Amino acid sequence: MKRQLVERELTAEGPLRGARRPGTRAVRTVTVNLAESPIAWLHARGHINARLFDAGEALRNDYERAQLSANITMRWDPVRVKTTGERGFTPTERQVAARQRFDGAIKAAGKGLEDVLWRVVCAGEALPEAEKTLGWPARSGKLVLKIALERVAEFYRIT
């Protein structure tokens, strides 16, 4: 993963996203890696174990392979007639298989857990932002995310 390091001013509310506020003095700055996903951040700081991290990465890979994120109106990918794809599957078959795995993993997470799972793992939303958007109390998302990742790990048979 390529690193994108930037300096951010640290305030009582956390790192500022933009420039320093007028009339305030810089207290302390932190280096933030913009390319680091929220799940990688949690794993790097010991908040989730390697099994849960691998489950999240498997889910995110299927999400990306299934091309479920928002697209532009026109696709400019070159048309490929002949493929040397893995195990003889066409790109469309691999995309469909990834979609089926993704849907199965989300279903295995269960009702009420798929929201935070999708927001943090697939959309790359920070855990505090996901909690705020879902209307949850602060610091409750990590526990719910761990439960969802446990179920996803079981689905992917990650030991």
Residue 112: domain span: 37-68+89-159
114 in the same domain as 97? yes
Mean pLDDT of 3-23: 62
Q: Six-digit token pair at 62?
A: 């299927």
Determine the number of helices (DSSP H) and then strands (DSSP E) in the chain.
6, 3
Angle at CA 107, nearest 5°, toward 105 and 111?
Answer: 130
Mean confidence (pLDDT) of the chain: 82
Amino acid at the residue 43: H
Q: pLDDT per residue over 33-92, tens digit each?
A: 766 789 998 998 899 999 999 999 999 999 989 888 776 666 666 665 555 555 667 878
- Report the domain count for the chain: 2
56 in the same domain as 124? yes
Burial class from Cβ neighbours inside 10 Å (0-12, 13-18, 19+) for residue 136 reads middle
62 in the same domain as 25? no
Helix axis angle, 91-109 relative to 50-65, nearest 10°? 130
63 in the same domain as 26? no
> Hey, how many other C-beta atoms are within 10 angstroms of the C-beta on 44?
12
107 in the same domain as 123? yes
43 in the same domain as 13? no
- How far CA 86 is from CA of 25, 81, 90, 101, in Å, comes to 56, 15, 8, 17
| pLDDT at residue 17 in the model | 52
151 in the same domain as 113? yes
CB 94 within 8 A of CB 65: yes
| pLDDT at residue 63 in the model | 93
158 in the same domain as 133? yes
5 in the same domain as 64? no
| pLDDT at residue 100 in the model | 96
Q: pLDDT per residue over 20-31, tens digit each?
A: 556 655 567 777
133 in the same domain as 115? yes
23 in the same domain as 61? no
